[in-house]
Amino acid sequence: MSQATRILLALIAGLVIGIAAASASADWALAATKITQPIGSAWLHGLQMVIVPLIVGLLVTGVGATADAARAGRIAGRSVVMFVILLWSATLMSALLVPMLLKLWPLPTAWAEALRTSLSRAAAPAGTVPNLGAFFDTVVPTNVVTAAAADAFLPLTVFAITFAFAITRLPPEPRALLTGFFQAIVDTMLVIITWVLKLAPIGIFALAYGVGAQTGAAAFGALLHYIVTVSAIGLVVLLAAYPVAAIFGRVGILRFARAVAPAQAVAISTQSSLASLPAMLKASAELGAPATSAGITLPIAVAIFRATSPAMNLAVALYVAHLLGMPIGPGALAAGVATAAITTMGSVSLPGTISFFASVAPVAVAMGVPIEALGLLVAVETIPDLFRTVGNVTMDVAVTISVARADGGAAEPEAEIVT
């Protein structure tokens, strides 16, 4: 049984037992949360303790990976430029679309209030993000250690980004030394996250029991609402790959759809961009990208470019804020957009639950959004993760064709060229 399956079963069992206990005896069910809630909170604290070093490490390695790839040559440089443009465009799209979607299709008030009450006991402040009035006064930290200790993640993010760009200006030897040091920090934090997630079925069961006991069946409806909302953002990014291929790759949309379909099938069955690489290479070749171009762009794409990740990571953070009734001001939204777009470039390709916490938690914390709800949302990540993987694979092929076209390497029959 996979870890994702165990976590999902723990979620369902916790909710069902909590609902059943509340139906049998509401007082007894709520009294039991005095035991289950501290267990769930302790598990969440194990995840929260790695957030500060993980954010700094991902920002530094993300900027470093982008700079190193851009130095690798003409094709690599063009690929990275297009990656960055698409990542930031997708993230900004998410920042605009998610609030609109939640306004048009909000979580029912009764469900939101019930979940908010049940999660509030496990909540821990995720940090203070200044409003727009205090933005310019606090955005640059006077003491980075104090900012980290106070969980002031917006100024900490600004410092980490500035520090990361400064590292790229160093000579190769010290640059490699510092980048390797922060990569080691990221890898170490991921090991700790792996350890903590081995206890995820216990922690999630404890949290889910409290939610089920206090909210009843509303929890299932809220989780479905979350799945649809976040998956919709991944679907938008996936569909955007088709016009990207048509406009910049000069490939007919139907032809692109036929060529990329086998790679999408592999992505669905494996939920891995890396496993889809051979199929992506074949699709790119069928669409006219030379092996010399695709052989550079696609490996870089699999390593550092995940088109759907920043948009969907930001969507998760915005959804949690909506769930908890937290207003997100311009300063918090700017911190979330920057963190989502940049940390994606430095995140490693990990499956399931590990990548969910490693990529979403820094965004949520940078925005000042508590992460206790992530303990429940990770259990249903399997469905949004399908949209993540298929969207990434589709956009990887679209970018590969576009870079090949810009390099003069992709040639389609005249009838297939989109004008």
Model pLDDT, residue 69: 62
Instruction: Give the pLDDT score at 334.
Output: 85
- Of 99 and 163, the structure prediction assigns the larger pLDDT to 99
Q: Rank 4-18, 240-254, 271-285, 396-410 by mean pLDDT and report only the highest.
A: 240-254
Q: Mean of the pLDDT values across residues 359-364?
A: 82
The structure tokens 């991902």 sit at 58
Model pTM? 0.74
> Which pLDDT band holds residue 44 (cuts at 50, 70, 90)?
confident
User: Cβ(362)–Cβ(356) under 8 Å?
Assistant: no
Q: In this predicted model, what pLDDT tens digit does every residue of 8-36 receive, in sequence order?
A: 788 888 888 988 888 888 788 878 888 88
Tell me: pLDDT of 73 over 70.
no
Tokens of 266: 């592999």
Q: Could you tell me the CA-to-CA distances from 76 to 65, 71, 168, 263, 381 in Å, in that order?
A: 12, 8, 17, 22, 32
Give the residue, 228 or 271, on which the prediction is more confident.
Answer: 228
215: pLDDT strictly greater than 90: no
More confident residue, 160 or 130: 160
User: Which residues, other chains included, contact 207 with Cβ-Cβ below 8 Å and sequence gap of 6+?
Assistant: 14, 36, 37, 40, 43, 44, 119, 122, 372, 375, 376
Stronger pLDDT, 25 or 157, i.e. the higher one: 25
Average pLDDT, the chain: 79
Q: What is the reported pLDDT for 416?
A: 43
pLDDT computed for residue 417 by the predictor: 40
Give percent of the chain above pLDDT 70: 80
Q: Is 271 left (phi over 0), alpha (psi -120 to 50) or beta?
A: left
Q: Which residues, in sequence order, are CB contacts of 60 under 8 Å at separation 6+?
A: 160, 163, 164, 167, 178, 179, 182, 346
Residue 149: per-residue pLDDT: 63
User: Can you give the pLDDT at residue 211?
Assistant: 76
Is the CB of residue 241 less than 8 Å from the CB of residue 46? no
What is the pLDDT at residue 123? 47
Q: What is the mean pLDDT of residues 360-383?
A: 79
- In 10 A of CB 83, how many CB atoms? 26
Q: How would DSSP label each residue in 174-222?
A: HHHHHHHHHHHHHHHHHHHHHHHHHTHHHHHHHHHHHHHHHHTTHHHHH
Q: Are 364 and 332 in contact (CB under 8 A)?
A: no
Around Cβ 169, how many Cβ atoms within 10 Å?
A: 8
Q: Taking a C-beta distance cutoff of 8 angstroms, is the pair 238, 391 a contact?
A: yes
Strand ranges (E), 63-108: none
Identify the pLDDT of residue 398: 93
Which structure tokens are listed for 140? Answer: 């640059």
- Rounded to an integer, the average pLDDT of 50-58 is 78
Output the CA torsion 114→119→123→126 (10° steps): -80
Confidence at residue 270, expressed as pLDDT on a 0 to 100 scale = 73
pLDDT at 344: 73
Q: How confident is the model at residue 235 (pLDDT cuts 50, 70, 90)?
A: very high
What is the helix (H) or strand (E) element at residue 263, kind and residue range? helix 253-270
Which one, of 184, 47, 201, 214, lies nearest residue 120 by Cα? 214
pLDDT band at 229 (very low <50, low <70, confident <90, very high): very high
Percent of the chain whose predicted confidence (pLDDT) is above 90: 17
Q: Is the pLDDT of residue 419 over 50?
A: no
Residue 37 sits in a domain of what CATH number? Answer: 1.10.3860
pLDDT for 75-93, tens place per residue?
A: 777 888 888 899 899 999 9
How far is the C-alpha of 222 from the C-alpha of 387, rounded, in Å? 19
Query: What is the mean predicted confidence (pLDDT) over 345-374?
Result: 71
The better pLDDT of the pair 200, 318 is held by 318
Please give the full DSSP string across 298-334, using - where no structure is assigned.
Answer: HHHHHHH--TTHHHHHHHHHHHHHHHTT----HHHHH
What is the extent of the structural domain holding 146? Answer: 3-416
Q: CB under 8 Å to 86, separation ≥6 — which residues?
A: 244, 307, 395, 399
CA distance 167 to 7: 39
Binned at pLDDT 50, 70 and 90, residue 266 comes out as confident
Our count of domains for the chain comes to: 1
Provide Rg for the chain, Cα atoms.
Answer: 22
Structure tokens at 9: 């079963």
Q: Give the model's pLDDT for residue 169.
A: 85
What pLDDT score does 136 carry? Answer: 54
What residue type is assigned to position 190 of the chain?
A: L
Name the residue with higher pLDDT: 135 or 82: 82
Rounded to the nearest 10°, the torsion over CA 72, 75, 77, 79 is -120
pLDDT at 314: 93
